[in-house]
């Protein structure tokens, strides 16, 4: 390799035996393992976090199949370049494995341009992406590819890679006399957040910038490891799948009444550049869906926070979001309104619900009363307590109950009133 090639690039695995991690895909007997071993891997999409071996495995698959390997970066490639690769392969009657890094950067036109080459077998496409392919890849291309989801490497996986790199003279750091102290190894493996490239980069930097000690060895201690890694690599992409995972964990923590977890995921999202308006919208939804009528003020708090966030902006917006998140997490919970509207929607979608009862129909337009609209309607404000028993549901749904309150928070009082009104309505309608 040319001088100055980073350790992470030099030390890529060359065979399945050298590959570390992804045991759920590459344990003997697994589909991906068998396909690569047999040199029969078809078009595929490798989807997962950075530094987990997606591109390296694509190259191993090409080598195993005995095919030329062409790697393009989808962010800067063009349809012309893709056609040139396919044209050469067709002219030489030698199918190629085309690895398109960050394939989600291809627009629809570029993705469509790949289809005929994939279908004809001129190109075996391996797209690598950190984005969810079900969101980013067109259906026609996705249906012609097998999707394999890569997981972040475990700290144990990264330790193994680092120790191998230290021992390898040819491609690693074996020509240096290095003592990597256990605490430093633990930190590099844990703080790399599953990304081997980050860990290898930090190790190389530590080795190249630490002088030899009196014992004739480069000693990498915890301080050196922390200095070279600088900070934990956040596993979050506000445009990708982790965006949805962190948002989901944020809301589930609020639903689970854990303010500490909610604040963790809120901080994680903010630190990674998430749009605070998106976070505010999630809080408004949670206030209605998860807190609901157990504390109706929660929706007021969440909406006020959403308005304030737009008015104030970051960095102070973090305080507003935190206040709302803690309030919602500690509020009593009720999803009764959410369940009620879901039941009502299910009836509207699946049942014959019948027409609006005549006495409830609009009687204000010309000729409406001649059709019986509004006839027999009882105006509640004309009765004591602004309540009068009459039927409001369509005939086909008479007696249907959608809203089922619970006994938590403010909803307990609503439940008591509702049961009393339902009883009065039922008794009065029986007499009619």
Predicted confidence (pLDDT) per residue in 401-415, tens digit = 888 888 888 888 888
Of the pLDDT bands very low, low, confident and very high (cuts 50, 70, 90), residue 339 is: very high
- In the chain, the N- to C-terminal Cα span, in Å, equals 93
- Going by pLDDT thresholds of 50, 70 and 90, the confidence category of residue 142 is confident
Q: 179: which strand partners? A: 219
* Cα 103 to Cα 54: distance, rounded to the nearest angstrom: 12
What is the mean predicted confidence (pLDDT) over 269-273? 81
Q: Which residues of 27-57 are buried (b: 16+ CB within 10 A; e: fewer)?
A: eeeeebbebbeeeebebbbbbbbbbbbbbbb
Q: Is the pLDDT of residue 137 over 50?
A: yes
Decide if 161 contacts 196 (C-beta within 8 A).
Answer: yes
Identify which has the larger pLDDT, 307 or 239: 307
Q: Determine the Cα–Cα distance for residues 381 and 178; give it in Å rounded to an integer.
A: 87
Which range is least confidently modeled, 211-220, 266-275, 296-305, 420-429? 420-429
For the chain, percent of residues with pLDDT exceeding 90? 42
> What's the confidence (pLDDT) of residue 131?
82
Q: Is the pLDDT of residue 77 over 80?
A: yes
pLDDT reading at 130 higher than 90: no
Q: Please report which confidence band the pLDDT of residue 233 belongs to, taking 50, 70 and 90 as the band edges.
A: very low
Whole-number percent of the chain with pLDDT over 70: 94
What pLDDT, on the 0 to 100 scale, is given for residue 284? Answer: 96
Residue 334 CA: distances (Å) to CA of 279, 345, 346, 367 = 21, 19, 20, 45
Residue-wise pLDDT for 28-52, tens only, equals: 999 999 999 998 888 999 998 888 9
Whole-number Å distance between alpha carbons of 296 and 327: 12
Residue 312 CB-density burial (10 A; 0-12 exposed, 13-18 middle, 19+ buried): middle
Extract the tokens encoding 34: 């068998």
Task: Please tell me the predicted confidence (pLDDT) of residue 108.
Answer: 83
The answer to whether 150 and 49 have CB atoms below 8 angstroms apart is yes
Q: What is the mean pLDDT of residues 74-93?
A: 85
Residue 179: what pLDDT? 92
Of 91-100, 135-144, 318-327, highest mean pLDDT: 318-327
Walk me through the domains of the chain, giving residue ranges and CATH numbers. Answer: 22-149 (3.40.50.300), 155-229 (1.10.8.60), 241-330 (1.20.272.10), 352-431 (1.10.3710.10)
Q: Let me know: does 195 contact 153? Beta carbons within 8 Å.
A: yes
* Closest residue by Cα to residue 251 from 315, 333, 320, 312: 333
Q: Are 289 and 333 in contact (CB under 8 A)?
A: no
Residue 368: per-residue pLDDT? 66
Q: Backbone phi, then psi, for 46, in 5-degree steps?
A: -95, 115
pLDDT of 60 > 60? The answer is: yes
Inform me whether the pLDDT recorded for 297 exceeds 90.
Answer: yes
Can you give the pLDDT at residue 181? 93
Q: Which residues, at least 6 apart from 238, have a Cβ–Cβ distance to it below 8 Å?
A: 269, 272, 273, 274, 275
In the predicted model, what is the mean pLDDT of residues 226-249?
68
Record the pTM: 0.60
- DSSP state string for 111-156: HHHHHHHHHHTSEEEEEEESS-HHHHS-HHHHHTSEEEE--PPPHH
- Most distant CA atoms of the chain, gap in Å: 106
Q: Where are the alpha helices (DSSP H) in 230-331?
A: 241-255, 259-271, 276-286, 297-312, 317-330
pLDDT tens-digit series, residues 155-178: 999 999 999 999 999 999 999 999
């Amino acid at each position: 390799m040319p001088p100055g090639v980073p350790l992470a690039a030099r030390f890529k695995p060359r065979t399945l035996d050298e590959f570390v991690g992804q045991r759920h895909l590459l344990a003997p007997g697994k589909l991906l393992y068998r396909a690569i071993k047999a040199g029969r891997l078809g078009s595929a999409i490798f989807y997962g976090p950075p530094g987990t071996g997606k591109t390296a495995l694509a190259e191993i698959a090409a080598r195993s199949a005995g095919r030329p390997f062409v790697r393009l970066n989808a962010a800067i490639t063009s349809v012309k370049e893709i056609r040139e690769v396919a044209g050469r392969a067709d002219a030489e009657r030698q199918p190629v494995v085309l690895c398109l890094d960050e394939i989600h950067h291809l627009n629809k036109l570029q993705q469509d341009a790949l289809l005929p080459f994939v279908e004809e077998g001129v190109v075996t496409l391996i797209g690598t992406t950190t984005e969810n392919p079900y969101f980013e890849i067109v259906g026609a291309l996705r249906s012609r590819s097998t999707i394999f989801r890569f997981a972040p490497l475990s700290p144990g996986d990264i330790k193994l890679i680092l120790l191998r790199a230290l021992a390898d003279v040819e491609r690693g750091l074996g020509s240096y006399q290095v003592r990597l102290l256990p605490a430093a190894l633990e930190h590099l493996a844990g703080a790399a957040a599953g990304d081997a490239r980050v860990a290898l980069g930090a190790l190389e930097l530590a080795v190249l910038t630490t002088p030899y000690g009196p014992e004739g060895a480069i000693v990498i201690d915890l301080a050196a490891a922390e200095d070279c890694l600088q900070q934990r690599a956040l596993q979050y992409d506000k445009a990708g799948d982790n965006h949805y995972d962190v948002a989901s964990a944020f809301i589930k923590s609020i639903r689970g009444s854990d303010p500490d977890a909610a604040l963790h995921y809120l901080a994680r999202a903010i630190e990674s550049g998430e749009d605070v308006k998106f976070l505010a919208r999630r809080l408004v939804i949670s206030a209605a869906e998860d807190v609901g009528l157990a504390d109706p003020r929660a929706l007021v708090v969440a909406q006020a926070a959403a308005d304030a966030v737009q008015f104030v902006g970051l960095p102070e917006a973090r305080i507003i979001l935190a206040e709302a998140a803690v309030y919602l997490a500690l509020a009593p919970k009720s999803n009764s309104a959410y369940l009620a509207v879901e039941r009502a929607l299910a009836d509207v979608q699946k049942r014959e619900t019948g027409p609006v009862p005549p006495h409830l129909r609009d009687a204000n337009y010309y000729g409406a009363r001649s059709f019986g609209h509004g006839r027999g309607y009882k105006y509640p404000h004309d009765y004591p307590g602004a309540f009068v028993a009459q039927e409001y549901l369509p005939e086909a749904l008479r007696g249907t109950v959608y809203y089922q309150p619970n006994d938590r928070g403010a909803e307990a009082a609503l439940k008591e009133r509702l049961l009393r009104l339902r009883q009065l309505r039922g008794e009065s309608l029986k007499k009619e």
